[in-house]
Structure 1
Amino acid sequence: MLTNLFSIFEPSSSILNFSINWISTLLGFLFLPYFFWSSPSRWSLLWSKMIFLLHKEFKTLLLTSHQGTTILFVSLFSLIMFNNFLGLFPYIFTSTSHMTLTLSLALPFWLTLMIFGWMNHTQHMFAHLVPQGTPSVLMPFMVVIETISNIIRPTTLAVRLMANMIAGHLLLTLLGNTGSSLSSILLSLLVFSQILLLLLESAVAIIQSYVFAVLSTLYTSEIN
C-alpha cells in the first residue's frame, strides 16, 4: 500500500536511463524572459515589488555591507517557489518533494558557510557554541548540544521543505482518488474541498520557500 501510495512522487519518465522528470526544475526559468521583454503588467509589477521587499528584509537580516549578497537568497527563494507552484499543475513533477533536490540545496550552502566561518572567524564560531551567561558546569553539555543542532541544520531545512510539499500533494491525491465512488452531492463537496486545499497549497508553496530562504539568511548572519 505504501509503495503504491508514494510511487506517484518517484521519477518514472526516462530516456536512456536518465530521469527526464527532473527537467521540471528548470521550467521556472521559462517564465523569466517574460518579465524582461514584455511591457509592464500587474504580474510583473507585483513580482518586482515582492523582490524589492525580499531584498530589503534579507539585507536587514544579514547585517552586512557586502553588495549583492541578497541576490543569492532572492534567487533561492525564486527557484523554490517556482518549483513549488509548478508542482501544483497536473502532470508536472514536483522536484521539491524529494530529498534529492532539497538536500542538494541545503547541504552545499551550509557546508560553504561552515568552511568560511571556521577559516575566517574561528573565535566567533567557538563563541557561538557557548551561549552568553551559561554556567561553567553546563558549558561542556552546551557545546555538545550546539554542535549537534548546527550539524543537523541542512537536514532540517531539507526535510521541512520536502515534508510540507509531499503532505499536501499526498492529501490532494488521496481525496482525488475517491471521487469515482462518490455520489453527486459528495462529489461536489469533494471538488469544493479540493479547491480549498489547492489554495492552501499555494500559500504553503510561498511560505515554505520564504522559510527556507530566511533560515538560510539567518544561518549566514551568524558567521559575520
Structure 2
Amino acid sequence: MMTNLFSTFDPATSSNFSLNWMSVSLGILFLPSMFWLIPSRVSLMWIKITTTLHNEFKILLKINKMKGTTLIFISLFSLILFNNFLSLFPYVFSSTSHLVLTLTLALPLWLSFMIYGWINNTIHMLAHLVPQGTPPVLMPFMVCIETISNVIRPGTLAIRLTANMIAGHLLLTLLGNTGPSMSLIMLNLLVITQILLLILESAVAIIQSYVFSILSTLYSSEVV
C-alpha cells in the first residue's frame, strides 16, 4: 500500500543496498548476442535510427577531424531511451525519474565541456558571455545573465527529464488507483484513457531522450 503519492518512486528495497538501481543494466538481459550477429528487422531499424542521429549530431558538432565524436551522444540517447521505456512496464523501477541518475549523466558532461572550453578556447568562451551587438551599458548585466544561464544548464537538463517522467507516471498511478471504486462503464473509459496515456508516455520517452542528447550536443558545440 502506498504511504504517499511519491512512494512509487522510492528506490529503497533494503536497508543495505537498493536492488532497484540494477534496472539500469537490464538491457544486457534483453539484448542477447544473437541480436547483434544475425541481421533482423529490429537490428536494421536500430541501425537506421543511430545512422540518422549520427548525421544530425555531426552537423551540430561541426567537427570533421575527430571521428566518432557522436558516439557518446548516441550512447546517451540509447541509455535514456531504454530506461524510459523500461519504466513503463509494471513493477520495473523508474530510474530516470530520479535526479541521482539524470544529474549523474548531465553534470559530468557539462563539466567536461566547460573545462575543455576554458582551457583550449578561452577567448571564444569569453566572447560567448557578451552577445554580439550588446550596448556597453548592458555588458556587465549580460555577463551575469549568461554566466547564470550557463551554470544552470546541467540542472535544467536533469530536472526536465526527471519532471517529465514523474508527471506521466504519477498520472497513470493516480488514475489506476481510482479503478476499484468505479462502475463498469467508467472502468471501460478508464482503461481506454490509460491506454492513450501509455501511448503518450511512450512518445514522451522518445522525445525526452532525444531532447537530452540534442541539448548536450548543442552545449558541446559551443565550446569548440
TM-score per shorter chain, which class? over 0.9
Q: Where does 1:33-112 land on structure 2 (aligned, <5 Å)?
A: 33-37=33-37, 39-65=38-64, 66-112=66-112
Q: What is the identity, as a one-letter code, of the residue corresponding to 2:82?
A: F
Q: Which moved more, 1:182-191 or 1:16-25?
A: 16-25
How far apart in 2 are the matches of 1:208 and 1:126?
31
Q: What is the identity, as a one-letter code, of the residue corresponding to 1:119?
A: I
Q: Where does 1:4-43 land on structure 2 (aligned, <5 Å)?
A: 4-14=4-14, 17-32=16-31, 33-37=33-37, 39-43=38-42
Relative distance call for 1:100 and 1:64 in structure 2 (3 A) is same
Partner of 2:140: 140
The two structures have a TM-score, normalised by structure 1, of 0.96
* Cα displacement (A) at 1:34: 4.5
Task: Give per-residue Cα distances to partners, 1:106-156, cap 9 Å, x unaligned.
Answer: 011101111111011000000000001111111000000000000000000
Determine whether 1:123 maps to 2:123: yes
Give the gaps of 5 or more residues in structure 2.
none
How far apart in 1 are the matches of 2:3 and 2:135?
50
Instruction: Say which SS state the counterpart of residue 90 (structure 2) adopts.
Output: coil
How far apart in 2 are the matches of 1:155 and 1:74?
21
How far apart in 2 are the matches of 1:218 and 1:35?
32
* Cα displacement (A) at 1:40: 2.1
Partner of 1:175: 175
How far apart in 2 are the matches of 1:31 and 1:218?
32
Task: Give per-residue Cα distances to partners, 1:53-75, cap 9 Å, x unaligned.
Answer: 00100001101111010000000
Q: Structure 1 vs Structure 2: percent identity of aligned residues? A: 70
How far apart in 2 are the matches of 1:128 and 1:110?
16
Partner of 2:219: 219
Corresponding residue pairs, total: 221
Partner of 1:163: 163
Q: What is the identity, as a one-letter code, of the residue corresponding to 1:124?
A: H
Partner of 2:152: 152
Task: Give per-residue Cα distances to partners, 1:169-189, cap 9 Å, x unaligned.
Answer: 000000000000001110000
Q: Where does 1:192-203 land on structure 2 (aligned, <5 Å)?
A: 192-203=192-203
* Cα displacement (A) at 1:30: 2.9
Instruction: Say which SS state the counterpart of residue 4 (structure 1) adopts.
Output: coil
How far apart in 2 are the matches of 1:40 and 1:12?
40
Query: Cα RMSD between the aligned structures?
Result: 1.3
How far apart in 2 are the matches of 1:31 and 1:76?
18
Q: What is the identity, as a one-letter code, of the residue corresponding to 2:166?
A: I
The two structures have a TM-score, normalised by structure 2, of 0.96
Give the gaps of 5 or more residues in structure 1.
none
Q: What is the identity, as a one-letter code, of the residue corresponding to 1:217?
A: T
How far apart in 1 are the matches of 2:160 and 2:104?
14
* Cα displacement (A) at 1:44: 1.4
Q: What is the identity, as a one-letter code, of the residue corresponding to 1:117?
A: G
Q: What is the identity, as a one-letter code, of the residue corresponding to 2:155?
A: T
* Cα displacement (A) at 1:42: 1.8
Task: Give per-residue Cα distances to partners, 1:58-96, cap 9 Å, x unaligned.
Answer: 001101111010000000000000000000001000100
How far apart in 2 are the matches of 1:22 and 1:74?
22
